[in-house]
């Protein structure tokens, strides 16, 4: 745990106190002091109570006479303030993690930002509630997005003010492991026909969980089909040599000019043969087709080189075909021989789709693939997660993607 996590609240509480005590040899003349002095003279109370500072009185009551206090607290060599910082850290972390959701302040309670004091105005300076403290801030003072403690029951990063961001930042790792979407058990893990959602994959997955389900479903239906008709399956050699896999569901519709749109995920294979965490992608494109109508197709893109994986992790968007070569992949045993002979050609990706009951190589050229950073952020609970981090294997395999790993394992052994 970061040391800074626990200390700020402590420091805030302690420094002003010392400051006040330090000034006591030359006490300020305030109305309060005057009255306290008069009161002491009238009642004949002990002169040492004449300071009138409530802080000082409290310190005396707890720690004995002020001389002791001088000796122990204000000697620079022996401040007892930081000796227990580790314990304080743990305590502060625990308090944070057990925090209860706040009562939001009503909008009417603030006419200006509670941090920078900018007046609220329509459009340019709106009110935003900090989800952790319930205060009202302007857009610029509430830019942070954080996972909130367990009792908030939120699985996605929420808007917090700058102060709360600093407090919550050190516990983010714990929260990522406990409350993020990625850390939850996958609820939709049945892909057989008993489950309606497995019949047809939606071209627009709104969340990573949905993408995981769709990809699992596509890979499972491929595995089923490949088992039935090995002569039309993706050659083993192609599967074994894969450096990554992208699974996309694409809807195609239009007359003459066809529009293609779809979402999916990409997952890379680590050096040791295990799979990285998944990263969400979207795909859009234009095409020309003779017939009108629409179709919905699941694509499996086998990424055959590290460059292909890098294209998916490094760039915001790229065109399949132009920037990353993708050709219809070979199928069946004959193709297996071809692949072996020519070491699979030079294309970085092989694309396959399950259409009309057969797994066939299909070209996806002319589609632009983009990464969906917001979907990744909502899933991993980290606003700053990048596709490169995910695909390099820096992230542990999320629990929510276990069905996908099982499907991959069955297919790629």
Q: Which is nearer to Zn ion, 129 or 371 (CB)?
A: 129
Q: How far is the CB of 105 from Zn ion (least distance, A)?
A: 11
Q: Which is nearer to Zn ion, 142 or 376 (CB)?
A: 142
Q: Which is nearer to Zn ion, 139 or 399 (CB)?
A: 139
- How many residues in the shown chain lie near Zn ion by CB under 5 A? 10
CB 354 within 8 A of CB 225: yes
Strands 317-319 and 244-255: unpaired
Q: Which range binds Zn ion by CB under 5 A, 3-11, 88-96, 164-172, 343-351? A: 164-172
Q: How far is the CB of 125 from Zn ion (least distance, A)?
A: 8
* Whole-Å CA distances, 290 to 147, 293, 366: 50, 10, 17
**Of the candidate residues 59, 69, 141, 300, the single one contacting Zn ion (CB under 5 A):** 141
CB 282 within 8 A of CB 214: no
**Of the candidate residues 73, 133, 146, 397, the single one contacting Zn ion (CB under 5 A):** 133
CB 21 within 8 A of CB 55: yes
Q: Which is nearer to Zn ion, 130 or 404 (CB)?
A: 130
Handedness of CA 266, 272, 273, 274 (dihedral sign): negative
x/- mask, Zn ion, residues 104-123, rule CB under 5 A, reads ---------x-xx-------
CB 115 within 8 A of CB 166: no
Q: How far is the CB of 139 from Zn ion (least distance, A)?
A: 8
Q: How far is the CB of 153 from Zn ion (least distance, A)?
A: 18
Residue pointed to by tokens 């050190």: 170
Rg (CA), the chain: 31
- Taking the C-alpha atoms of residue 170 and residue 10, their distance in angstroms, rounded to an integer, is 16
Q: Which is nearer to Zn ion, 159 or 220 (CB)?
A: 159
Q: How far is the CB of 11 from Zn ion (least distance, A)?
A: 19
End-to-end CA distance of the chain: 39
**Of the candidate residues 138, 148, 280, 397, the single one contacting Zn ion (CB under 5 A):** 138
**Of the candidate residues 59, 99, 130, 212, the single one contacting Zn ion (CB under 5 A):** 130
CB 77 within 8 A of CB 83: no
Q: How far is the CB of 150 from Zn ion (least distance, A)?
A: 18
Handedness of CA 364, 370, 374, 376 (dihedral sign): positive
Strands 244-255 and 293-303: antiparallel
Q: How far is the CB of 163 from Zn ion (least distance, A)?
A: 6
Q: Which range binds Zn ion by CB under 5 A, 20-28, 49-57, 140-148, 191-199? A: 140-148
Is there binding between residue 99 and Zn ion (CB under 5 A)?
A: no
Q: How far is the CB of 113 from Zn ion (least distance, A)?
A: 3
Q: Across-strand partners of 254?
A: 258, 293
- Taking the C-alpha atoms of residue 107 and residue 101, their distance in angstroms, rounded to an integer, is 17
**Of the candidate residues 148, 164, 311, 327, the single one contacting Zn ion (CB under 5 A):** 164
Q: Which is nearer to Zn ion, 133 or 234 (CB)?
A: 133
Q: Which is nearer to Zn ion, 114 or 233 (CB)?
A: 114
Q: How far is the CB of 160 from Zn ion (least distance, A)?
A: 5
Is there binding between residue 386 and Zn ion (CB under 5 A)?
A: no
Q: Which range binds Zn ion by CB under 5 A, 46-54, 162-170, 269-277, 367-375? A: 162-170
Q: Which range binds Zn ion by CB under 5 A, 141-149, 244-252, 289-297, 363-371? A: 141-149
Report, in this order, helix, strand and coil percent for the chain, each rounded to 5.
45, 20, 35
Q: How far is the CB of 122 from Zn ion (least distance, A)?
A: 16
DSSP string across 331-373: -HHHHHHHHHHHTT-S-SEEEEEEETTEEEE---TTEEEEE-H
Q: Which runs of E-coded beta strand occur in 235-389?
A: 244-255, 257-268, 279-288, 293-303, 317-319, 326-328, 349-355, 358-361, 367-371
**Contact residues: Zn ion, CB under 5 A:** 113, 115-116, 130, 132-133, 138, 141, 161, 164
């Amino acid at each position: 745990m970061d040391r800074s996590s626990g200390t700020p609240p402590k420091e805030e509480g302690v420094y002003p106190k010392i400051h006040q005590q330090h000034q006591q040899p030359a006490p300020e003349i305030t109305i309060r002091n005057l009255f306290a002095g008069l009161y002491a003279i009238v009642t004949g109370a002990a002169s040492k109570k004449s300071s009138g500072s409530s802080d000082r009185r409290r310190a005396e009551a707890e720690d004995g006479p002020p001389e002791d206090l001088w000796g122990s607290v204000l000697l620079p060599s022996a401040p007892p303030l930081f000796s227990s910082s580790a314990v304080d850290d743990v305590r502060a972390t625990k308090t944070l993690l057990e925090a209860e959701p706040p009562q939001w302040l009503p909008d009417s309670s603030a006419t200006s930002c509670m941090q920078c004091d900018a007046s609220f105005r329509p459009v340019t300076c709106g009110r935003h509630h900090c989800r952790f403290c319930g205060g009202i801030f302007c857009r610029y003072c509430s830019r942070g997005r954080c996972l909130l403690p367990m009792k908030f029951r939120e699985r996605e990063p929420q808007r917090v003010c700058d102060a709360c961001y600093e407090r919550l930042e050190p516990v983010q790792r714990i929260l990522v492991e406990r409350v993020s979407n990625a850390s939850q058990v996958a609820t939709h893990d049945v892909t057989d026909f008993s489950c309606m959602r497995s019949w047809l994959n939606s071209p627009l997955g709104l969340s990573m969980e949905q993408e995981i389900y769709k990809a699992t479903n596509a890979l499972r239906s491929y595995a089923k089909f490949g088992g039935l008709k090995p002569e039309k399956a993706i050659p083993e050699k192609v599967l074994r040599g894969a450096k990554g896999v992208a699974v996309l569901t694409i809807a195609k519709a239009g007359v003459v000019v066809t529009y293609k749109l779809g979402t999916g995920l990409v997952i890379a294979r680590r050096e040791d043969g295990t799979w990285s965490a998944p990263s969400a992608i979207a795909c859009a494109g234009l095409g020309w087709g003779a017939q009108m109508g629409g179709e919905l197709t699941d694509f499996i893109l086998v990424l055959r080189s590290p460059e292909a994986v890098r294209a998916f992790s490094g760039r915001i968007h790229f065109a399949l075909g132009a920037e990353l070569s993708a050709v219809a992949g070979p199928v069946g045993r004959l193709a297996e021989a071809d692949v072996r002979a020519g070491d699979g050609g030079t294309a970085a990706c092989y694309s396959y789709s399950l259409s009309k009951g057969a797994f066939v190589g299909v070209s996806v050229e002319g589609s632009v693939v983009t990464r969906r950073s917001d979907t990744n952020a909502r899933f991993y609970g980290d606003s700053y997660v990048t596709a490169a981090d995910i695909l390099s294997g820096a992230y542990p395999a999320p629990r929510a993607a276990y069905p996908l790993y099982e499907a991959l394992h069955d297919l790629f052994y």
